[in-house]
Amino acid sequence: MKSSRASATHNGAVLAWQLAVGAIVIAAWQTLVTLGMLDAFFVSRPSDIAQRLSTWVVSGTLWGHLATTLEESLLGLTAGAALGISLGFGFARSPMVARVFDPYIKMLNAVPRVVLAPLFLLWFGLGIWSKVALAVTLVFFVMFFNTYQGVRDADQVLIDNVRMLGASERQLVRHVLIPSALTWIFSSLQTSLGFAMVGAVVGEYLGATRGLGYVIAQAEGTFDTTGVFAGMTVLGVVVVIVSGGVSRLERWLLRWKA
Amino acid sequence: MTALELESVAREFVTPDGGSYRALDNVSLAIPAGAFVAIVGPSGCGKSTLLNIAAGLVPPSSGSVRVNGEGLSGLNRSATYMFQQDALLPWKNVRENVALGLVLAGVSSAEANARANEWLARVGLSAFAAHYPSQLSGGMRKRVTMAQNWILDRGMLLMDEPFSALDVHTRQRMETELLNLWEATAENAEVAEKNSSPRAQRPLRLKKTVVFVTHDLEEAIALGDEVVVLSAGPASHVVARHPVALDRPRDLFELRTSASFIDLYRSLWAVLRDEVIKSQRDA
């Protein structure tokens, strides 16, 4: 109990410092622009960005774009996870298939996703699906490698023990291999979610009619740096909030770990 | 009746450099049903391989294995296996781990849980049913493992240095608990025959056959009806079998200083010592 109280004060101190660091950077930024040492045309200024954000919130334009980006990210995450987990599992269970496809998987993973974006626009159009596809290509590999590793890494003693206790092959998969892989998959949830959002935003940036990436691209097209920074701020805040939620989910799912 | 019979069993492994390593050579051993047999030998003498063969996890390269008179193919379904390492599923809590074998066998979860609770009470861990293995001490994890094995009530228990990772005192307690469980099965069987009221206390089968592998001669004598000494590897084989004529139930806290224990220890150590020296010279 003592240690948890100590870590609670610790957490408080960390939060205070985090806020302080943010405040100092914003204050310095604002001051440097006001003093004319930085040009507001290139870097905007915090007060303008705040004003722009409040305009977006009050007028309601923000929500539609945000919802689109989140929808694409979530669809990308789900589809990428489903594909990555099932293929990772299949590969881990059949070493022959894994060896045959190994060079292809590596080649595909090496393709920079920005190169794929125009292709996806061509194939799936300007709507959400080209962005979902881009997110899938990013999430898939994280999930695939983690699942593959997780299944291959399952402790042989656990497998032997469960088999001695009477497990069939299917029960072995269910009680040992899947949970073992899940620990790897859950621990990569943060990364996957980040990738899903990157996929969605990059897709929107390169060609869309809605979404945060679209907002940023529009602002850039008119040299509206304030709009660019406001869009980036929204993205950053959303990522912090969502990843906080994912951390809690991960802690709960892996609560059996010491 | 013979519970486990190994006849001229040998086992070779392929070494990383492509050669072959003969772990066991010409091991013949018959273990009567209901006996507690302790197998000792220096480290690296193939004791674990011997158990893995008896469990059906590893097939012998040559020779035959018979369980209750029948040739063994595949896993030994008459036995449970207590491994040297922790083998509890870390993502299942204590009760789920104990109930696992029953769940795998298709017992309803209500029934499995009820019986797991009985076993948790028997090993003194009722208060920890909802804990995860990572939250338990080493001794507690061993007790959970014992319950996980015993709940299946199979006739044979294979144990591979199950307590070697524990400190001396915890280890002695676990040995005592193991003997209590093992001796209780015999009494229960008698009670069960006399008093056939079905729900009173779930009667266990007749006394279990235990094959207990250890590198500790003291532990082997303290627990076993018989001590089997294996030679140093490679090509390990049986060099001596010695009955342990100590009364049961045994008081493990006093036993080790008794004159008959010390005599037994002396004569068995005379055999084991040479093998230990051999194994160390080769290493």
Interchain CB distance below 8 Å, B81 and A160: yes
Residue B204 CB: number of other CB atoms within 10 A?
19
Q: Kindly tell me if the per-residue pLDDT of B17 is higher than 80.
A: yes
Q: How far is A163 from chain B (nearest CA, A)?
A: 8
Tens digits of per-residue pLDDT, B104-145? 999 999 999 999 999 999 889 999 999 999 999 999 999 999
Neighbour order of strands in the sheet with B62-67:
B20-32, B2-14, B62-67, B70-71
Q: Looking at chain B, which residue has its C-alpha nearest residue A180?
A: B91
A156 Cβ partners below 8 Å, 6+ apart? none
Q: What angle do CA B29, B30, B33 make, to 5 degrees?
A: 145
A170 touches chain B (CB under 8 A): no
Tens digits of per-residue pLDDT, B154-213? 999 999 999 988 888 888 888 998 998 888 876 555 554 444 444 445 555 578 999 999
Lowest-confidence region among A25-29, A52-56, B42-46, B275-279: B42-46
Delimit the domains of chain A by residue range: 1-38, 44-253
For residue B231, give the DSSP letter.
Answer: P
- Give the residue numbers in B contacting A (CB under 8 Å), as ranges: 55, 57, 75, 77, 79-81, 83, 85-87, 89-93, 100-101, 104-105, 132-135, 148, 152
CA atoms of B193 and B187, how far apart (whole Å): 10
Q: Which residues of A touch B85 (CB under 8 A)?
A: 157
Interchain CB distance below 8 Å, A175 and B85: no
Q: How confident is the model at residue A6 (pLDDT cuts 50, 70, 90)?
A: low
| ipTM (interface predicted TM) | 0.87
Radius of gyration of the CA atoms of chain A, in A: 23
Q: How confident is the model at residue A253 (pLDDT cuts 50, 70, 90)?
A: confident
- Domains in chain B and their CATH numbers? 2-78+155-282 (3.40.50.300), 89-153 (no CATH)
Q: Which residues of A touch B134 (CB under 8 A)?
A: 256-258
Tens digits of per-residue pLDDT, B216-261? 999 999 999 999 999 887 888 888 898 998 888 888 888 888 889 9
Interchain CB distance below 8 Å, B101 and A157: no
Q: Which residues of A touch B142 (CB under 8 A)?
A: none
A11 Cβ partners below 8 Å, 6+ apart? none
Interchain CB distance below 8 Å, B57 and A167: no
DSSP-assigned letters across all residues of B186-220: HHHHHHHHH---TTSS----S--EEEEEES-HHHH
Structure tokens at B87: 């083998």
Q: How far is A176 from chain B (nearest CA, A)?
A: 8
Give me the residue label for tokens 């990059």: A202
pLDDT attached to residue A50: 95
CA atoms of B245 and B247, how far apart (whole Å): 7
Lowest-confidence region among A73-82, B4-13, B187-196, B204-213: B187-196
Radius of gyration of the CA atoms of chain B, in A: 19
Interchain CB distance below 8 Å, A165 and B80: yes
Q: Kindly tell me if the per-residue pLDDT of A227 is higher than 90.
A: yes
Label the pairing between strands B70-71 and B226-230: unpaired
| Buried-exposed string A24-54: b where 16+ CB fall within 10 A, e elsewhere | eeeeebbeebeeeebeeeeebbbebbeebbe
Question: B24: helix, coil or strand?
Answer: strand
pTM, rounded to two decimals = 0.79
- Indicate left, alpha or beta for B33 from its phi (over 0: left) and psi (-120 to 50: alpha): beta
pLDDT attached to residue B205: 58
pLDDT attached to residue B246: 86
Angstrom CA distances, A180 to A171, B10, B118, stand at 13, 34, 29
Structure tokens at B83: 């491994």
In chain A, % of residues over pLDDT 90 = 71
Q: Kindly tell me if the per-residue pLDDT of A190 is higher than 90.
A: no
pLDDT attached to residue B283: 62
CA atoms of A128 and A124, how far apart (whole Å): 8
For an interface test with B, the pick among A165, A169, A183, A187 (most B C-beta atoms closer than 10 Å) comes out as: A165
Question: B79: helix, coil or strand?
Answer: strand
Question: A152: helix, coil or strand?
Answer: helix
Q: How far is A256 from chain B (nearest CA, A)?
A: 6
What is the second-level CATH architecture of the domain A44-253?
A: Orthogonal Bundle (1.10)
Which sign does the torsion angle of CA A34, A38, A42, A46 carry? negative
Q: How confident is the model at residue A59 (pLDDT cuts 50, 70, 90)?
A: very high
Q: What is the dihedral of CA A223, A227, A232, A235, to 10 degrees?
A: -140
Interchain CB distance below 8 Å, B57 and A162: no
Q: How far is B188 from chain A (nearest CA, A)?
A: 23
Which residues is B6 bridged to in the sheet?
Answer: B29, B65
B231 Cβ partners below 8 Å, 6+ apart? B41, B45, B237, B238, B239, B275, B278
Alpha helices per DSSP H over chain A:
2-34, 40-43, 46-59, 61-93, 95-110, 113-124, 128-152, 156-164, 169-172, 178-187, 189-206, 212-221, 225-253
Contact A136, A73 (CB under 8 A): no
Structure tokens at B100: 């696992």
C-alpha B60, offset from chain centre: 20
For an interface test with B, the pick among A161, A169, A173, A253 (most B C-beta atoms closer than 10 Å) comes out as: A161
Which amino acid would we find at residue A237?
V
A252 touches chain B (CB under 8 A): no
Structure tokens at A258: 């010491």
A156 touches chain B (CB under 8 A): no
Average pLDDT over residues B30-46: 89
pLDDT attached to residue A2: 42
Q: How far is B64 from chain A (nearest CA, A)?
A: 20
Which sign does the torsion angle of CA B176, B179, B181, B187 carry? negative
Interchain CB distance below 8 Å, B104 and A171: yes
pLDDT attached to residue B198: 43
Q: How confident is the model at residue B24 (pLDDT cuts 50, 70, 90)?
A: confident
pLDDT attached to residue B186: 60
Contact A233, A26 (CB under 8 A): no
For residue B236, give the DSSP letter.
Answer: B
